[in-house]
Structure 1
Amino acid sequence: MTYNSEKLARFFPTAASSVLLAIGLSANTLLPVSAGTAAQKTQLISQKGKKVEITLVSYAVTKAAYSKIIPQFVAKWKREKGQDVEIRESYGGSGSQTRAVIDGLQADVVALALALDTKKIEKAGLINPGWEKDAPNNSIVTRSVVALETRPGNPKKIKTWSDLAKPGVKIVTANPKTSGGARWNFLALWGAVTKNGGTETQALNFVTQVFKNVVVLPKDARESSDVFYKKNQGDVLLNYENEVILAAQQGKTDVSYEVPATNISIEGPVTVVDKIVDKRGTREVSEAFVKFLFTPEAQREFAKVGFRPVNSTVAKEVQSRFPKISRLYTVGSLGGWDGVQKKFFDDGAIFDRIQGRR
């Protein structure tokens, strides 16, 4: 089924003005949100008495959801603990956010686009091993899939993965060497073959042909969208489904996309940053905030901006909004992030070899 702006407006009626807040915030942008007035401060407040402050570091497109979730948590904590919470927020590309935390950005909670980024913070000694078991659903708080975003009316008739290898189809996708989102795109292409009974040799040939049709490899997902929309390059953009929905909510009137029935589960993890919360005395409130993100209240807010809920109750409530996936697989079924990185994206690995064959 083709999904376009009319369908998205009906299913996801979130006001564009609230969603626009999701874009354009750098890794060092800290936005305070608190009960009552939000004080503008440059220094962290004391974690004593009737007020506590934590910092959430996340990737850009989650801002719209967190703008609704955070006030709900703040109110809940006040009712239950009698304490005001101020949650500062930092948004940017997942990779740049990861580097910022490793380089000293004082994050109490990190919610990133892929577990590979969280693992980098773990390897830097800031997050304890085994963090995946510290929250529900192995700490995966959001899900999405890869969508094929086309020009209005889909003039090239691009419906599924095999169409991407056809002669004359011009593709835009970010570079997997620099973009976490592009890694998901690459793995979706690979799984389109191997998860449908094909061999790895067939997958290599297919993905190689697809990348021969790639006209530009921007550094990240945001730049990819700019190339596709603002520079009008390409017939199809490989993108997160939730990004497409977000674009429609922002007022792009000619959004049209397909979701292939074989797809990869794009999983966004969340966890506390152990070294920071222990140093600052914020573990209790930080862990409570993480757990709140899995509640139906929070999951409904994620769903409103296009994420597929991980809470089963909410997933049933909103299932008609999303195209059905008949064969959904995870990065774990491809060997996990450590294995995937080494096999596909390290220097000299499969992606580099594909680039050499273009």
Structure 2
Amino acid sequence: ELFEALNPVFAEKWQADTGRSLTIDMSHGGSSRQARAILEGLPADVVTFNQETDVDVLAEGGLLPEDWRDALPNGASPYYSLPAFLVREGNPKGIEDWDDLARDDVAPVFPNPKTSGNARYTYLAAYAYALAQNGGDQAAAQEFVRAVFDNVPVFDTGGRAATQTFAERGIGD
């Protein structure tokens, strides 16, 4: 939705500045999936990824310089974000923190960590939480994350699809 709003404004400015018209075709999907598609030939002039490893894939494939992180401040990362919990209206299950996602009566919806950068960040956030709660015990942290992920009814390919599964299809808590 953000790019649907920004793209026409950008195209108008581009034409005013350069005198050339611009066509923008969007492709959406998990960050890693998009990186693979570009390596396999999907033409792209602009991409947005949510993790640097997907940019590394393009650099390893020869589409970017290996030192791409040095091109801009902050290692070329424009922002950082944290996971947020979206719950059903009124929060009927009283979901407040990560521990609640490990309860047997809660079904969290996540993207698939194999195809989504969002999911990798979510996995790492859950793992970091469990490490903090368990005094750095890695085995306990792994068991906690396993309990949370065992409750997941659907692993969608990306964050957008997971949000649609929750909000539009009514799956999960």
Shorter-chain TM-score range: 0.7 to 0.9
AA aligned to 1:136 is P
Mapping for residues 317-332 of structure 1, pairs under 5 Å: none
Mapping for residues 231-246 of structure 1, pairs under 5 Å: 231-235=169-173
The aligned length equals: 170
Match of 1:229 among 156, 162, 167: 167
Query: Is 1:204 paired with 2:139?
Result: no
Alpha-carbon distance between aligned partners in 2 of 1:117 and 1:86, rounded to the nearest angstrom = 30
Aligned to 2:28: 92
Alpha-carbon distance between aligned partners in 2 of 1:106 and 1:167, rounded to the nearest angstrom = 44
Note the residue ranges of structure 2 that are not aligned, 5 or more in a row: none
Aligned to 1:211, the other structure's residue is in SS state: helix
Larger of the two Rg values belongs to structure: 1
Aligned to 2:32, the other structure's residue is in SS state: helix
Query: Is 1:128 paired with 2:65?
Result: yes
Alpha-carbon distance between aligned partners in 1 of 2:168 and 2:48, rounded to the nearest angstrom = 29
Aligned to 2:92: 155
1:143-167 deviation line (CA, Å, top 9, x unaligned)? 3221111000001111111111123
Larger relative contact order (Cα-Cα within 8 Å, sequence gap ≥ 6): 1
Alpha-carbon distance between aligned partners in 2 of 1:67 and 1:230, rounded to the nearest angstrom = 25
How far is 1:87 from its partner? 4.6
Mapping for residues 250-269 of structure 1, pairs under 5 Å: none
TM-score (norm 1): 0.43
Aligned to 2:6: 66
Match of 1:108 among 34, 39, 45: 45
Query: Is 1:145 paired with 2:102?
Result: no
Asked whether the equivalents of residues 70 and 87 of structure 1 are also in contact (C-alpha less than 8 Å), the reply is: no
1:57-78 deviation line (CA, Å, top 9, x unaligned)? xxxxx51463376258638x83
AA aligned to 1:232 is G
* Greater strand fraction, Structure 1 or Structure 2: 1
Mapping for residues 43-82 of structure 1, pairs under 5 Å: 62-64=2-4, 66-67=6-7, 70=10, 74=14, 78=17
Alpha-carbon distance between aligned partners in 1 of 2:89 and 2:112, rounded to the nearest angstrom = 25
Alpha-carbon distance between aligned partners in 1 of 2:23 and 2:56, rounded to the nearest angstrom = 23
- The 1:143/1:119 distance shift into structure 2, 3 A limit, reads same
Q: CA RMSD in A?
A: 2.5
Aligned to 1:214, the other structure's residue is in SS state: coil
Alpha-carbon distance between aligned partners in 2 of 1:195 and 1:202, rounded to the nearest angstrom = 10
- The 1:106/1:167 distance shift into structure 2, 3 A limit, reads closer
Over 6 Å off, 4+ runs: none
Asked whether the equivalents of residues 63 and 91 of structure 1 are also in contact (C-alpha less than 8 Å), the reply is: no
How far is 1:134 from its partner? 0.4
- The 1:65/1:185 distance shift into structure 2, 3 A limit, reads farther
- The 1:88/1:192 distance shift into structure 2, 3 A limit, reads farther
- The 1:112/1:87 distance shift into structure 2, 3 A limit, reads farther
Alpha-carbon distance between aligned partners in 1 of 2:48 and 2:23, rounded to the nearest angstrom = 13
How far is 1:178 from its partner? 2.3
Asked whether the equivalents of residues 11 and 23 of structure 2 are also in contact (C-alpha less than 8 Å), the reply is: no
Match of 2:110 among 173, 198, 201: 173
Alpha-carbon distance between aligned partners in 2 of 1:109 and 1:88, rounded to the nearest angstrom = 12
Alpha-carbon distance between aligned partners in 2 of 1:69 and 1:221, rounded to the nearest angstrom = 25
